[in-house]
Amino acid sequence: MQSKLTVPIAIVAGGLVIAMAVYVTTPKRAPSMGGNPALVRPVDASDHVFGNPNAPVKIVEYSDFDCDYCQGFDSTMREIIGSSGTKGRVAWVYREFPLTELHPNALSSAEAAECAALAGGSDAFWKFTDILFKNQPVDPTQYGTYAKNAGVTSEAFATCFMNASTTVFSRIMADRTNAFAVGAEGTPYSLIVVDGKAPVVMSGAYDYEEVKQLIDDTLAGLAR
């Protein structure tokens, strides 16, 4: 019979492998060159989208699961989608921006979230990320429990996490690279994206009223 400790230990071991790979291959934070918000990668089917994927207004967020400001902004965005997103005109896009220079578990948490998505789909991803933020500072030994609470089987989650799949790792690195390209120097870093218009930057944890006002202004501009 499989020991109850098998999955947690395997997950921690997998996390160590990932951490070593990140240390070797992750681009280190470079001095700011200003970036260009127009370089934000177009939203596509591979993205994590909360709300209508065809919404004309999308808020693309680059975030870190061990960032306490991101925790607050995550709550704000869930409230925003629960109000402004109900008519299908606003969507939230989550992208990984683990600040490995500041948070030693940030990359493994990003990997865990992506594995939750692969094993359980979009709903599992959003449930898992909510659990991560509500359990800061994140304890990597609890990933398996968090996954189960998000509706993902421990075995499916552990298999993905232990294998440190190239697909998952490449996705996280692509998000992080794009974050630097658009000018992000910290988290959360978000852009309000509308096709054919220059992105509106939100650098930091804007509160609900601030985000709501920017969205209302953007929607009003579309109506003209």
Per-residue pLDDT for the chain (224 aa), expressed as one digit of tens each?
444 334 444 444 444 444 433 333 333 333 345 799 999 999 999 999 999 999 999 999 999 999 999 999 999 999 999 998 888 999 999 999 999 989 999 999 999 999 999 999 999 999 999 999 999 999 999 999 999 999 999 999 999 998 867 889 999 999 999 999 999 999 999 999 999 999 999 999 999 999 999 999 999 999 77
Neighbour tally for 17: CB within 10 Å: 14
Question: What is the b/e burial string over 179-196, where b = at least 16 CB atoms within 10 angstroms of the residue's CB?
Answer: bbbbbbebbbbbbbbbee
| Pairwise CA distance, residues 217 & 84, whole Å | 12
Distance CA 162, CA 218 (A): 43
pTM of the predicted model as reported, rounded to 2 decimal places = 0.85
Asked: is 11-22+42-223 a CATH 3.40.30.10 domain? The reply is yes
